[in-house]
Amino acid sequence: KAGVTQTPRYLIKTRGQQVTLSCSPISGHRSVSWYQQTPGQGLQFLFEYFSETQRNKGNFPGRFSGRQFSNSRSEMNVSTLELGDSALYLCASSLSTGQIGVGTDTQYFGPGTRLTVL
Amino acid sequence: AQKITQTQPGMFVQEKEAVTLDCTYDTSDQSYGLFWYKQPSSGEMIFLIYQGSYDEQNATEGRYSLNFQKARKSANLVISASQLGDSAMYFCAMRDDTGGFKTIFGAGTRLFVKA
């Protein structure tokens, strides 16, 4: 079974631009989560989608948005890029049956997209 | 409130020896899941092992085992027979009912395996 894929793997943008990152989950997984990882802040949760609905959102400004398509693929968008948005953006998928503590909420991560904002 | 604490920023271990990476968690929920991930320098997060709050036995996956002490709220990762390829960052994570569909991560422990 193919793993989680993310495109592009590397991206260089300038301040003020916008960027769209893509994530394809493991086949059969309907939950997709996004995380931002920086050396200073560690791994921070951005948002989670399930069946095209956002179920939870982290503490990020409205410049960060996402969506999920009917085939479970997800995109996240960052508008008006700032230098501080430079980070590794990780996507993860899970079965997420809604039951916590039974293992179906195990998340599998993609290789990440490394975004550099100049 | 949900919280994951990893108190060891960095650790060294000799090749072929066992090492324990510490993790404590805080939750008021009865249902929760605990995870360990490995992140090599390439950046990809690799799932290692899972422990559910209702599991009575400690989880094991090959050379990885999870020392789950529910009353102490600790979920330490034990790596047996360390290999050079085990050098990486290791993250402890948790998902509980209160947090909804959000997994929180600890700050991580960087493991160095010496030849």
Which pLDDT belongs to residue B25?
Answer: 96
Q: b/e string for B41-78 if b means 16 or more Cβ within 10 A?
A: eebbbebbbbbbbebeeebeeeebbbebeeeebbbbbb
Q: Given an 8 Å threshold on Cβ–Cβ distance, is A107 in contact with B103? A: yes
- Report how far residue A45's alpha carbon sits from residue A73's, in angstroms, rounded to the nearest whole number: 18
B33 lies within 8 A of chain A by CB: yes
Cα–Cα distance for residue pair B86/A15, rounded to 1 Å: 37
More confident residue, B95 or A12: A12
If one compares B99 and A79, the residue with the highest pLDDT of the two is A79
B53 touches chain A (CB under 8 A): yes
pLDDT tier for residue B39 given thresholds of 50, 70 and 90: very high
Question: Do B50 and A106 make contact, defined as CB atoms within 8 angstroms?
Answer: yes
Interface test with B, best of A11, A100, A113, A114 (most B CBs within 10 A): A100
Residue B45 at interface with chain A, using a CB cutoff of 8 Å: yes
pLDDT score of B65 more than 70: yes
Model pLDDT, residue A56: 87
Q: What is the mean pLDDT of chain B?
A: 93
- Cα A33 to Cα A75, B55, B56, B72, B93, distances in angstroms: 10, 25, 29, 29, 14
Across the A/B interface, how many CB contacts are shorter than 8 Å? 72
By Cβ distance, the residue of A56, A100, A109 closest to B32 is A100
Q: What is the pLDDT of residue A100?
A: 63
Residue A83, phi then psi, degrees to nearest 5: -55, -35
Buried b (16+ CB within 10 A) or exposed e, A8-28: eeeeebeeeeebebebbbbee
The chain-wide mean pLDDT, for chain A, equals 92
Residues of chain A contacting residue B97, judged by C-beta atoms under 8 Å apart: 100
State whether residue B17 sits within 8 Å of chain A by CB: no
The strand pairing partners of B64, in sequence order, are B61, B79
Is the pLDDT assigned to residue B103 strictly greater than 70? yes
pLDDT value at position A101?
62
pLDDT score recorded for residue B96: 81
Among the residue ranges A34-38, A101-105, B79-83, B92-96, the one predicted with the least confidence is A101-105
pLDDT at residue A97 in the model: 67
Our CA angle for B33, B34, B38, nearest 5°, is: 140
Closest by Cβ to B54, choosing from A45, A96, A101: A101
Q: Give the minimum alpha-carbon distance from A85 to chain B in angstroms, rounded to a whole number.
A: 17
HSE toward the beta carbon, residue B35, CA cutoff 13 A: 27
B42/A65: higher pLDDT: A65
SS3 (DSSP) at A3: coil
Model confidence at B106: pLDDT above 80: yes
Q: Which of A55, A58, A100 sits opposite B33 (nearest CB)?
A: A100
Instruction: Give the pLDDT band (50/70/90) at residue A98.
Output: low
For A28-71, write each residue's pLDDT tens digit.
999 999 999 998 889 999 999 999 999 889 999 999 999 999 99
CA distance A23 to A78: 14
Asked if pLDDT for residue B98 goes beyond 90, the answer is no
Please give the full DSSP string across A32-96, using - where no structure is assigned.
EEEEEEETTTEEEEEEEEETTEEEEE-S--TTEEEEE-TTS-EEEEE-S--GGG-EEEEEEEE--
Give the model's confidence band at A2: pLDDT under 50 very low, under 70 low, under 90 confident, else very high: confident
Report the residue from B44, B96, B101 with minimal CB separation from A48. Answer: B101
pLDDT bracket for residue A90 (50, 70, 90): very high
